[in-house]
Chains A and B, each alone.
Chain A
Amino acid sequence: MDPPDRRGARLYRKYGDRLVEAVLFLSAITSILVMVLIFYFLTYESFLAFKEMGLKAMLLGQKWHPAGDIFGMAPIIWSSILVTFIALFINILVGVPLAIYLSELAGSRSREILKPAIELLAGVPSIVYGFLGVLVLVVYLERSFLMLTGRSILAVSILLGIMFIPALATICEDALRAVPREFKEGSLALGATEWQTVRYVTLPAASSGIIAAVILNVGRIIGETMAALLVVGNVARLPIPLFDAFDRGAIFTSVIAGEMGEVAHGSLHYHSLFAVGFVLLVIVTVLNISADLVRSRIQKKFGEY
């Protein structure tokens, strides 16, 4: 038999540890809980709109007229697709070369400057990007193309494309660095130039990571709110002709952020905005999961190098 105080200590140790573990467990499942709650509330609040409008009319309807209680998302979806493509083009055009530079070419000194610079760029708040977009980019476009207003699909594409260069470059760099040195050295030993090595060995070996990064960035681009809200013009109609990127548009986030401030709580408009949010959430979640799948599938295939 232990003396009483020792027994107390042992009890404390046993149950205290249990208690701590329980608390930690609870905080671990918080993320699951929050994810479920987010899905629940968005489904719940948007259900009414889908019921009232009909799923097809809501998703494919060509008019978004809050005043007339007509809420078709086709213009929003189409603008988002346009924005995503143009922004992604700019994004990849600078982001991937930047990643190649960081992982293959940069000396330690230029890395020392560039890495923090990229991190700082990634930290610039989106509202500041939006502010500069309004006062610099929009003004420039207006002057260059004699547009009625520079706020356009093109403006938001350029802004978002530039905004997410750091994010893309960082993930791509990790993917490129994960390629084992033996691959590159083997190629160089065979007499390939450095560029041939990058082009035919490193890039293909890292392609899965790069593709995953691009998919993740698509999610970021269509999920970005403040910068988009300020420069997109926020007019939800199909551009004529359809590929007219110089026209004003509205993407998922900008519609929600632009209109949610003024709607009456519980109106059809309110629920329709939640429906837009729901569609956005589903798209982004699917993108995230597929990025994860791409990465894990390739990892299975090649092992962790």
Chain B
Amino acid sequence: MKVRIAPAAAIVISGLMLVSSLFYLFVQPERPLLTSLWAGGLLASIVLISASVMGLYSSDRTIWRFERVIYLIGDQVLTLALVLLITTDTLYPGGDITLLGLSAVFRHELVLSFLVLLASVLLIKDSINLIYRYNQRGREILVFAMIRLSAVFTLLLLGGILFLLLYKGIGAISWEFLTESHIHLGQEGGISTCIEGTFWLVTGAMLISAPLGIGAAIYLTEYSTHTGLKRAVTIAVGGLNGVPSVVYGLFGLAFLVANFGLSLLAGSIILGLMNLPTIILTSQEALKSVPNSLREGSVALGASKWQTVRKVVIPSSLPGVLTGLIIGVARAAGETAPIMWTAVTFSATPVHKIYGVVPDVTQPVNNLCYHLLNLIYFLGAWDVEKNAWGTALVLLMLVLSINIVAIVLRKHYRKKIAW
């Protein structure tokens, strides 16, 4: 297919306008807009597109269907209107717009950049359609480009979050930051008590959710013959999975804090119950993937049901179950809402331990998430921003590295085991 020069040039020009307007929208540099350049670019694109329409019209009239013409003309008219808005100074610098009583001011720079962005997208669309003479291939290229953009966006998002936290937070991290407790409301000192508290909370949560979750999964896949019960449990697990974390917090407040007070125990139980559905679902999946022939072989050798489960089914499904547990650890470490009123205080004293080993479960602890929350609250009032970035970085790295372990484990075992 012969590339037509006019629409190709229009694409290049519109692409440049798209990039520059995006830049102005998001970075908002302190410099005047490229208003005249944009007006010129829009005008040039219109001329180029019109020229190529003329050319196409004389050579091949069959492609001009009514709705295509309407869309094309509509796009051109809109762009022309924008050019007129710019050249007649209707959108002049300082002419801010308030609209419909919204409590926002739409600044001239922003409105203009946004309109230019829209117009350039429309122009690019028309030009690509013209290059491909409105056949399906052109459409496919357009749509797939958008779809690919969503993937790029996702990667940029993850990269952006990681970069920002590393860039801002790495300065706060030092050996002292990790090993000392905070002083002066977190303005100085470190986060050792939070790390310790998070560790014990997660340990407690896993001690509760791992046996219960795996046990439930084993019962559901290996023992249960009663479909009604199975269905009821499945519904309950689905329901629990959807219960918002703040509701778990309320539940803990009403049910556990009334009995145990603000304590490590209450927080562990709540986090454990919260993790239950995840662990049940992942374990069930892992158990189901064990082929029946293994079970039958074991039973044929005279093993009882429990022996079969213990010696055959659990070992073969262990990697899957383990992955679920690890994801549970990551989730428990990153949750704030359920423990806010049940387990944590903004304390700088280390966890009180009985015999120096076992933590006193009746006492509240500090926690990374809760510490970060408090620092965010202090942001305007005290100088805690640096430590807040540091805490966020530690928390993110902790949770992400646990997740990475789970991902690697699963990948490894998928490769290795093929039934």
- Whether A28 lies near B336 (C-beta < 8 A) is no
A 170-221 contacts with B by CB, 8 A: 193-196, 216, 219-220
User: Of A117, A131, A239, A289, which contacts B392 at CB under 8 A?
Assistant: A131
Is A148 part of the binding interface, using a Cβ–Cβ cutoff of 8 Å? yes
User: In which size bucket is the chain B interface?
Assistant: 35 or more
CB of A224 to closest CB in B, whole Å:
7
- Whether B376 lies near A130 (C-beta < 8 A) is yes
User: Of A105, A127, A256, which contacts B147 at CB under 8 A?
Assistant: A105
- Whether A132 lies near B147 (C-beta < 8 A) is no
The dominant DSSP class at the B interface is: helix
How many residue pairs at the A-B interface have CB separations less than 8 Å? 284
CB of A38 to closest CB in B, whole Å:
5
What chain A residues lie within 8 Å of B335 (beta carbons)?
125
CB of B275 to closest CB in A, whole Å:
12
Q: Which residue on A lies nearest to B407, using beta carbons?
A: A116
- Whether B340 lies near A257 (C-beta < 8 A) is yes
- Chain A 260-298 interface mask (CB, 8 Å, partner B; 1/0): 110000000000011001001100110111001000000
- Whether A123 lies near B243 (C-beta < 8 A) is no
What chain B residues lie within 8 Å of A74 (beta carbons)?
none
- Whether A24 lies near B242 (C-beta < 8 A) is no
Give bound CA distance, A124 to B146, whole Å.
26
- Whether A127 lies near B395 (C-beta < 8 A) is yes
- Whether A13 lies near B216 (C-beta < 8 A) is no
**A144-B247 contact given A105-B147, A223-B242, A261-B341, CB 8 Å threshold:** no
B 220-266 contacts with A by CB, 8 A: 220, 223-224, 229, 232-233, 235-251, 253-255
Q: Which residue on A lies nearest to B398, using beta carbons?
A: A125
Give bound CA distance, A146 to B106, whole Å.
8
CB of A259 to closest CB in B, whole Å:
11
- Whether A146 lies near B96 (C-beta < 8 A) is yes
Is B382 part of the binding interface, using a Cβ–Cβ cutoff of 8 Å? no
B 195-214 contacts with A by CB, 8 A: 211-213
CB of A87 to closest CB in B, whole Å:
15
User: Of B139, B157, B336, B341, which contacts A260 at CB under 8 A?
Assistant: B341
Interface segment, one of B41-49, B59-67, B148-156: B148-156
- Chain B 128-170 interface mask (CB, 8 Å, partner A; 1/0): 0000000011011001101111110111011001001100000
- Whether A114 lies near B155 (C-beta < 8 A) is yes
- Whether A94 lies near B154 (C-beta < 8 A) is yes
Is A165 part of the binding interface, using a Cβ–Cβ cutoff of 8 Å? yes
- Whether A195 lies near B136 (C-beta < 8 A) is yes
15 further A-B contacts with Cβ under 8 Å, apart from A38-B240, A241-B100, A285-B239, are A30-B212, A30-B216, A31-B237, A34-B236, A42-B250, A94-B150, A98-B150, A114-B154, A123-B334, A134-B379, A165-B157, A193-B137, A195-B143, A196-B136, A288-B238
Which B positions have Cβ atoms within 8 angstroms of A?
Answer: 26, 28, 96, 100-107, 110, 136-137, 139-140, 143-144, 146-151, 153-155, 157-158, 161, 164-165, 211-213, 215-216, 218-220, 223-224, 229, 232-233, 235-251, 253-255, 273, 276-277, 280, 304-306, 330-331, 333-337, 340-341, 369, 372-373, 376, 379, 385, 388, 392, 395-396, 399-400, 403-404, 407
